[in-house]
Amino acid sequence: MRMDSVITTQARVIGALVLRETRTAFGDTQLGYLWAIVNPALSTLVLVFIFSSVGRSPAFGTSFALFFATGILPFQTYSKLSSSLMAAINSSRGLLSYPLVNEVDILISKYILIVLTYLMIVVLFFSIIIIGDDAPLPVHIEQCAMGFGALTLLGLGAGTSNAVLFRLWPTWKQLESIISKPLFFLSGIFYVPSDFPTHIVKLLSWNPVLHGVEWFREGYYSNYNSVVLSKSYLLTCALVLLLFGFLGERLYRKKSF
């Protein structure tokens, strides 16, 4: 079979899986998908309102809503990928009975759906802030896109690695939940790393998610100069996790035959 034919076939399989996953997760109506976009956006707005109402000022800039959004939305995208992909194979095991469908197809289709959903959430939420809070437009939107994209690759790598570990050791799901909880406080959502002493910044810099958030913020703000951002470190972590996840999945699949 020619290579282009193989690629076309797999693309069609993944496309069909994305449509199936969309119907399964959101139903057959457009309202279901719309609610999946609006619900996280509303939840984030509630958090913004709570923190703003108690007089919390932004760590950077003049809009707390904007500063919070540039941290929480990229983080939520990574977190959703990492946790959802972990159970994606087990929850779609029945699809593996079809000859053309394999584990990687399931993971990629889930990744595409989540990224598209959160991309819509990002666009909707920032539109609300720009219109309602008179917040500025992103200065370097391509840098925001690259930071967001790098975090989605990190989430794909983490989610795929979690899926492999979960299949080998089911208890990993509970352990991963415990391990990942501190990331919410270690990823710069509420603060700017430069506000902390050097030794704290060095500890925080081990967290690759923080680098993705900082990359996004550098792209959004005109005068945001991160003291911690290392794009190469973030991309290296994403690559290592992707290699571990997909190679581990391949080895596990061979072992299962």
Quick: pLDDT tens for 113-138. 999 999 988 998 898 888 887 888 99
Mean pLDDT taken over the chain: 86
- Residue 4 pLDDT more than 80? no
- Residue 255 pLDDT more than 60? no
State the helix-helix crossing angle for 103-132 and 30-53, rounded to 10 degrees: 50
Backbone angles phi, psi at 189, to 5 degrees: -70, -40
List, for residues 203-225, the tens digit of each pLDDT value.
999 999 999 999 999 999 999 99
Buried b (16+ CB within 10 A) or exposed e, 217-243: bbbbbeebebebbbbeebbebbeebbe
Contact 155, 119 (CB under 8 A): no
Rounded Cα distance, 221 and 67, in Å: 9
Whole-number pLDDT of residue 217: 97
Whole-number pLDDT of residue 212: 97
List, for residues 25-73, the tens digit of each pLDDT value.
666 555 666 776 777 777 777 777 777 676 567 788 788 888 988 999 9
Whole-number pLDDT of residue 7: 77
Query: pLDDT > 90: what percent of the chain?
Result: 51
- Name the one residue in this structure whose structure tokens are 């290592």: 240
Contact 75, 147 (CB under 8 A): no
| CB-count burial class (<10 Å; 0-12, 13-18, 19+) for 50 | exposed
Whole-number pLDDT of residue 47: 75
DSSP state of 173: H
- Residue 257 pLDDT more than 60? no
Rounded Cα distance, 138 and 123, in Å: 12
- Residue 149 pLDDT more than 60? yes
Task: Output the pTM of the full model.
Answer: 0.90
